[in-house]
Amino acid sequence: MNKTIKDRRQRLARFLFPDFPDAAMAPPQLKVTTLSFYAILATSIVALPTTLIRDVSAGNKAMIVSQVIYIALLLGGLFFLWAGGSLRQVRICFGLAVAMLIAGLIASAGGARGLGFFYIIAGYPVLYHVLGLSGGVAVPLIVAVGIYIRSRFGSFPAQSLLNDPDLWTSFFIVINISTILGVFSVVYQHSIVHSLYVAAYIDELTGLASCRKINQALEARIQAHSAGGKGFSLISVKLLHFSRVNSFQGSGFADGLLRAVGERLQACVGSDAVLSRCGGTIFQVLTDQSDFIDLDQLGKRLLEAAQRPIQSADQAMALESLVAITRFPQDGIDREALQSNIMASFARMRGHSGKVCFYDEDLHHAEAERFFMIEELRGAIEAGELSLVYQAKRHLKDGSCQGAEVLLRWRSKRFGEVPPAQFIPLAEEAGLIQEISRWVIRTATEELSSLPHRGPSLVHAINLSPKDLISSAFREFLWSMLKSGQIKPESIEFEITEGMMMDENPAIQHTLGFIREAGCRLAIDDFGTGYSSLSYLHRIRANNLKIDQSFIRGISASNPVSPVVDAIISMALSLKLDITAEGVETPFQEAYLKERGCTYAQGWLYARAVPLAEYKALLTRGLDPA
């Protein structure tokens, strides 16, 4: 029941105070204007019977006609208001009504008693809200001039009180004072409203429209479209790395750049579009253009304008930028959807400057899935969704199992089984990889402690991320694990990529040195896919090279030669390094690698990645090719 009453009230409020598609006024102004119009209409209707009776009795035809037309025009304005027209139509009707009333009052010398002008004077305080600045100032002046002309060149009816000289003098003084106060009231109201409008809808730094203003303009365009208007587009320009300008050049220099960018963008879009500054480094353009080619060209012009070097004082600065474009109604049917589209496009272009990007719904859904997947991943450890599996590796010379690679798995309650190639990059992006790496090392240590003792020959490999190597906290964590005896250094092999090996970052090199000094093994994973050299291999003193499975996959009876694999094995043997071939799936590949001196092999030919219990059983029965 309460909900029904509330809905009815909301419908009544929307009917009485419709949201006009008027981008030139703030929403509170629209409501005040509408309320003022209702007040004038109500008082006019209440006063009409009394004034008509007096004018009919006095035979004042001019005043009777003017009042009837006045009320008719006000009712016409009410019709436009309730029919969903623009506020401009309501103002036109009201302006004509007031003009007709003034004309009737002047023609009839203020009515039979001469006091009709006070009806107009009483309405001066609300004139501004309905007629605006020019109309609100014009009405008091026209009334004062009209009364003066009537008294100077005409006469008053016999019953008029204004025939009394003393009363006329007082009346004329009141009229002049009311005119001055009326004009002052209108100007004062305008200055206050304008100041509030500027504070709310104009960006102080650039003089452009603010974010609130363009959102209001968006709502107006959307309403206009629902009434039969055409589509439009929202374009956003984002300045990248602007915080560096603030940090290194100072806020004054940065503010000058923003003003210059705003002026350039305004020159690109012209006066037909709405340009705003939304937030610190985002500019938005609301344009009527919706053609893909035209929008692409406009986006490129905006991008060029934003990235062109800006000369400020004795310095020149070029800014990196992105441009995102979304169209209405193709990409969304409300303001929130359009703004969300822009943010999604920017998120998709992270790390890629100098691009113009149109919103793509499919890519947006993919980006949304990434976002929610990251949020799920944050709680994956506590939720017990992470687990370890072990893919055994076979010693090609004697066929024994020499350990395994420790691999991470994530079974999400929401997304199901998520491949490592999908969630590991997300973990690195979200800053979760260090926590996950520590969980992997700690969990692997606990699980492997239950294995039967096999001596130092059983080695288990764990992958590390670049962020692990950069962190001093990781070195402290690893040292505490080694010091507690939970990890036997010779039984752990940490795998890094060629890119990590070649990184000159001192923190990375320091961590690699720490791992070697601690007695742990180092392996170069996916070797052959990067650009490493012998000097790097010599410097980090790796123990094991792992040949990427893409090279192994190409070896077959029909293609029995792989120069790349031969070269890697030959180089590793010359450096006295172990070699592990990944992705071995056929006996032919095994024979090929064994013949050339490859040390270890892992792949589905021997075993898939399995949980700890199955790995223990595999150690017991041995690794025979499937």
Note whether 305 and 265 are within 8 A (CB): yes
Residue 73 CB partners (closer than 8 Å, separation 6+): 93, 94, 96, 97, 100
Concatenate the DSSP letters of all residues of 362-407 into one string: HHHHHHHHHHHHHHHHHTTTTTT-EEEEEEEEEETTT--EEEEEEE
Distance CA 537, CA 616 (A): 34
Provide the strand spans (E) within 198-308: 209-210, 232-240, 274-278, 282-287
Distance CA 124, CA 181 (A): 9
Q: At what angle do helices 472-483 and 433-448 cross, to 10 degrees?
A: 10
Residues 169 and 216 in one domain: no
Residues 164 and 70 in one domain: yes
pLDDT given for residue 23 in this prediction:
47
354: left (phi over 0), alpha (psi -120 to 50) or beta: left
Residue 530 has phi, psi (to 5 degrees) of: -110, -150
Distance CA 249, CA 251 (A): 7
Residues 191 and 240 in one domain: no
Q: Is position 366 within any domain?
A: no
pLDDT given for residue 141 in this prediction:
86
Which residue, of 158, 180, 201, is where some domain finishes? Answer: 201
Please tell me the pTM assigned to this model.
0.59
Residues 604 and 555 in one domain: yes
Strands 310-312 and 315-317: antiparallel
Residue 147 CA neighbour count, 13 Å, CB half: 25
Q: Is position 370 within any domain?
A: no
Residues 194 and 217 in one domain: no
Q: Is position 251 within any domain?
A: yes
Alpha helix ranges (H) inside 484-611: 498-502, 506-517, 534-540, 549-553, 563-574, 587-595
Residues 214 and 130 in one domain: no
Q: Is position 526 within any domain?
A: yes
Residues 61 and 133 in one domain: yes
pLDDT given for residue 8 in this prediction:
61
Residue 431's alpha-carbon distances to 319, 370, 387, 471, in angstroms, are 27, 14, 19, 12
Amino acid, res. 376: E
Residues 264 and 168 in one domain: no
Q: Is position 371 within any domain?
A: no
Amino acid, res. 313: A
| pLDDT, tens digit (0-9, with 9 covering 90-100), for 134-174 | 888 888 888 788 777 777 776 776 667 667 777 777 877 88
Note whether 619 and 452 are within 8 A (CB): yes
Residues 231 and 190 in one domain: no
pLDDT given for residue 535 in this prediction:
64
Q: Which residue matches tokens 């007709």?
A: 100
SS3 state of residue 322: strand
Residue 262's alpha-carbon distances to 269, 276, 395, in angstroms, are 11, 8, 67
Measured in residues, the chain has a length of 626
Domain that holds residue 224: 209-359
Residues 349 and 383 in one domain: no
pLDDT given for residue 127 in this prediction:
76
- Split into its structural domains, the chain has a count of 3
Residues 354 and 391 in one domain: no
Alpha helix ranges (H) inside 60-201: 61-82, 87-107, 117-122, 124-153, 165-201
Instruction: Of 540, 513, 524, 521, give the one whose Cα is nearest residue 458.
Output: 521
Residue 147 has phi, psi (to 5 degrees) of: -65, -40
Q: Is position 221 within any domain?
A: yes
Q: What is the mean pLDDT of the chain?
A: 83
pLDDT given for residue 86 in this prediction:
66
Distance CA 79, CA 88 (A): 13
| CATH number for position 223 | 3.30.70.270
Distance CA 445, CA 461 (A): 11
Distance CA 233, CA 54 (A): 59
Low pLDDT (below 70) residues in the chain: 1-29, 58-59, 84-86, 105, 107-119, 122, 154, 157-159, 161-162, 248, 312-314, 364, 453-456, 528-536, 538, 624-626
Residues 573 and 592 in one domain: yes
DSSP type of residue 202: B
| CATH number for position 537 | 3.20.20.450
pLDDT given for residue 598 in this prediction:
96
| pLDDT, tens digit (0-9, with 9 covering 90-100), for 456-490 | 578 999 999 999 999 889 999 999 988 887 778 88
Which residue, of 201, 230, 248, is where some domain finishes? Answer: 201
Which residue, of 201, 231, 259, is where some domain finishes? Answer: 201
Q: Which two tokens stand for residue 60?
A: 């004042």
Q: Is position 373 within any domain?
A: no
Q: Is position 369 within any domain?
A: no
Note whether 206 and 279 are within 8 A (CB): no
Q: Which two tokens stand for residue 317?
A: 């600065």
